[in-house]
Amino acid sequence: MKPDTAENRLIVPLDVDSLADANRIVAQLFNCVRMFKVGKQLFTAAGPPAVKRLIEEKKDVFLDLKFHDIANTVAGAVASATKIGAEMINMHASGGLQMMRAAKETAERIASELDIPPPTLLGVTILTSIDEAAFQRDFGTSRKLRDQVAYLAELSQTAGLNGVVASPLEIGRVREVCGGDFVIVTPGVRPKWARRGDQRRIMTPVEAIAEGADYIVVGRPITASNRPREAANAIIGEIKQAEEG
Ligand code: C5P
């Protein structure tokens, strides 16, 4: 559930639309990266074989489909995700306590039937693409975004989820509210030597790990690099540096 080595704290997203492209990235990073993220783009294009292929290669899969629906439907989706072997699965915490509890119960039941460890279940709080002004306008609230993130993180924990996906700027607040055992997965991470791309609220790997992230998701600085393996190893080096303090 919690990563045991610096290598295992790096998650690389396969943000491509074909199995062939995904396989190419995995082959390039085969010896240095343990967990890959399969999101809506690849899963919609290639389906469960994208996950199964990674599992056959002994890789861990974060299935980033951000489920959000009635409890029965999300429980069914989590059952399917557990059956195909996803190690990490997420859902929108705003789907509510009943939905998250149903997901948790189902994941544990299916894992026990299959005699496999239950997947790590994560809540998605407020998407990092939404800023304070958009949050208050679009959600019709005067609440502060950080307070809503902390509230939804706590709700995820109450439902029995293992952790949340949180932007680097929210790690400290989530740790404060949910404690040290709660898993925090952080995208929006950019090494100093990489382009920011469209990510805005960013931190470096060293900063994100020092703030308390368990896992960091780093995509384009690795996958768009001419030397992806060197880029991944440099980031793993930064994680080690942060661990040594
Ligand atoms: O290439 P880059 O490092 O920006 O990729 C980050 C990955 O994390 C993408 O797959 C993106 O969809 C995902 N993500 C994110 N921010 C969130 C949640 C997921 O950037 N709040």
pLDDT in tens, 186-235: 998 999 998 777 766 689 999 999 999 999 999 999 999 999 999 999 99
Is the Cβ atom of 205 under 6 angstroms away from ligand 1? no
HSE value, Cβ hemisphere, 13 Å, CA-based, for 106: 21
pLDDT at 245: 81
Give residue 62's pLDDT: 98
- Listed in order, strand segments (DSSP E) in 56-214 are 60-67, 88-92, 120-124, 163-165, 183-186
Q: Is 146 a pocket residue for ligand 1 (Cβ < 6 Å)?
A: no
Instruction: At 162, give phi and psi (nearest 5°).
Output: -85, -20
What pLDDT does residue 121 have?
A: 98
Percent of the chain with pLDDT over 90: 92
Amino acid at 226: N
Give pLDDT, residue 223: 96
Query: Which residues have a catalytic role annotated?
Result: 66
pLDDT averaged over every residue in the chain = 95
Strand ranges (E), the chain: 10-13, 35-39, 60-67, 88-92, 120-124, 163-165, 183-186, 215-217
As beta bridge partners, residue 216 has 10, 186
Q: Is the pTM of this model over 0.85?
A: yes
Report the pLDDT value the prediction gives residue 86, as an integer from 0 to 100: 98
Arithmetic mean of pLDDT, 105-112: 98
* The residue to which tokens 């199995």 are assigned: 19
> Mean pLDDT over residues 126-145, rounded?
93
**Is the CB of 199 inside a 6 Å radius of any atom of ligand 1?**
yes
Whether 28 and 233 have beta carbons less than 8 Å apart is answered as no
Q: What is the pLDDT of residue 129?
A: 84
